[in-house]
């Protein structure tokens, strides 16, 4: 599954999980995923989450890494801070936005069913 489709699923999860609403910022925060062959930017806020082309550089958080590392982040296998420590992902942005995104990734993890 490609990064773009995983990001689409992540955006859909954020929009349906109403317990995340208090965490979301009033103004858009832009998240850019960069890997070998894809570059996707989307915006999150209380007003909605959507793919974005026009970006405010002050509120941009860029996550760079391999497709596998980004996939592990989006599927909830590994946390953002874990991958930063392992140097699998590099993140550029304000510390506040990094913490916000870490919380959103953790709370929006897909549920795993045990059989």
Per-domain boundaries in the chain: 3-107
Buried b (16+ CB within 10 A) or exposed e, 43-58: bbeeeebeebeeeeee
Find all residues with CB under 8 Å of 103, minimum gap 6, and list them: 23
Answer yes or no: is pLDDT of 53 > 90: no
pLDDT digits (tens, 9 = 90+) for 56-69: 888 899 999 999 99
pLDDT at position 37, please? 85
Phi/psi at 55 (5° precision): -125, 140
Q: Which CATH architecture has domain 3-107?
A: 2-Layer Sandwich (3.30)
What's the rounded mean pLDDT across residues 27-46?
91
Percent of the chain at pLDDT > 70 equals: 96
What's the rounded mean pLDDT across residues 66-92?
93
């Amino acid at each position: 599954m490609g990064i773009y489709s995983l990001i689409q699923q992540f955006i859909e999860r954020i929009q349906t999980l109403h317990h995340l609403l208090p965490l979301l910022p009033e103004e858009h925060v832009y998240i850019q995923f960069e890997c070998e062959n894809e570059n996707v930017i989307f915006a999150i806020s209380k007003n909605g989450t959507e793919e974005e082309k026009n970006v405010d550089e002050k509120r941009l958080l860029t996550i760079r890494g391999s497709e596998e590392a980004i996939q592990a982040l989006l599927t909830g296998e590994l946390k953002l801070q874990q991958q930063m420590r392992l140097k699998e992902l590099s993140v550029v942005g304000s510390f506040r936005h990094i913490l916000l995104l870490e919380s959103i990734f953790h709370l929006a993890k897909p549920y795993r069913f045990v059989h």
